[in-house]
Amino acid sequence: MYSFKNDYSEGAHPRILQALIETNLEQVEGYGTDSYTLKAIELLKQKIGRKDVDIHFFSGGTQTNLTALSAFLRPHEAIIAPSTGHILVHETGAIEATGHKIISVEVTDGKLTPDHIKTVIDGHTDEHMVKPKLIYISNPSEIGSIYKKAELEQLSQCCRENHLFLFVDGARLGSALSSKENDITLTDLAALVDSFYIGGTKNGALIGEALVICNEILKDDFRFHMKQKGALLAKGKVLGIQFLELFKDDLYFDLAAHANEMANLLRNAITTAGYQFLTDSPSNQIFPILPNSLITKLEKNYSFYIWSKIDHNHSSIRLVTSWATTEDAVMAFIKDLNSAL
């Protein structure tokens, strides 16, 4: 049984495990003040092209979203998010548990636009309602679509005109930046948004996300928020070492590009077989629409999520490839798909 359920089924890239082994018995300072973490922060600043950003490491995406969004907002302020957003669908109400409302916007391609935002703002007029203050998006979106630079520029301008913060969930950011359709760089992100994070857990790290805070007014006392939310890891070097290894060369982007290429092989084969997709996804998540009878046959050898029911006889499934997905596994799936036809 081979899994296409997610991109964190495997452990970590061997280089990361080796780096952790080699440094295992070194005694260092805790809570992210060790030399490895400080070097990783400086390295990421170089990659981003900004010395004035703050960078903090977290163990996972939900913890990053929870800590950052609650820290950035005052009690009466709310978040605008697409209806498919991870904080709405797959984080067990973590944000709402901090007292902040998430205003859901129905979208067709997983992405927010300035028109979506303006509609929400126009509907929240006074102090009897929550005040929209932060825009949450993810790149790629929860359904695999990616933001182009022009789209992000429009969102950024809309946010600045309306005094809103723009936050990017980057759990799969490597896949977006390595997509053949992408035209955004880390430097672009830092210039256009108030905060974003670079996901490691879903791109070869054992655990780890790197939160980048670009807006000066969001930086104060942030480590206090991390400690209060249980996010200030005592063995902080475990995170710093991994990001040093991922970014000291192009490993981070090479791993993401591999995941995208494996997804592309699946996409091309499924298209050739005559099937359509729920979304246009140039990232490492694809959502083919297949007959239920074919899905049942494929489930004998592969695990994946059935994403949505299309009609009585068809459903969309989600196939996710990772940095560790082998071409042999992809070709076996394609062979079984064609055989089942």
DSSP-derived secondary structure letter, 277: B
pLDDT digits (tens, 9 = 90+) for 92-125: 999 999 999 999 999 989 999 999 999 999 999 9
pLDDT digits (tens, 9 = 90+) for 46-70: 999 999 999 999 999 999 999 999 9
pLDDT, position 211: 98
**Do 172 and 284 contact (CB within 8 A), yes or no?**
yes
Q: What percent of the chain has pLDDT over 70?
A: 100
Q: Residue with structure tokens 């064609």?
A: 338
**pLDDT (mean) for 145-155:** 98
Alpha-carbon radius of gyration of the chain: 20
pLDDT, position 340: 87
d(CA 55, CA 63): 15
The tokens for 49 are 């092209």
Residue 6, φ and ψ in degrees, nearest 5: -155, 180
Mention every residue, 6+ apart, whose C-beta is less than 8 A from residue 309: 315
pLDDT digits (tens, 9 = 90+) for 194-233: 999 999 999 999 999 999 999 999 999 999 999 999 999 9
d(CA 147, CA 281): 11
Residue 63, φ and ψ in degrees, nearest 5: -60, -40
3-state helix, strand, coil in the chain (%, to 5): 40, 20, 40
Which domains are assigned to the chain? 14-247 (3.40.640.10), 251-340 (3.90.1150.10)
The answer to whether residue 77 scores a pLDDT higher than 90 is yes
pLDDT digits (tens, 9 = 90+) for 253-271: 999 999 999 999 999 999 9
Residue 235, φ and ψ in degrees, nearest 5: -90, 60
**Do 289 and 275 contact (CB within 8 A), yes or no?**
yes
pLDDT, position 249: 96
pLDDT, position 233: 97
The answer to whether residue 158 scores a pLDDT higher than 90 is yes
d(CA 192, CA 209): 20
**pLDDT (mean) for 119-136:** 97
Q: What percent of the chain has pLDDT over 90?
A: 99
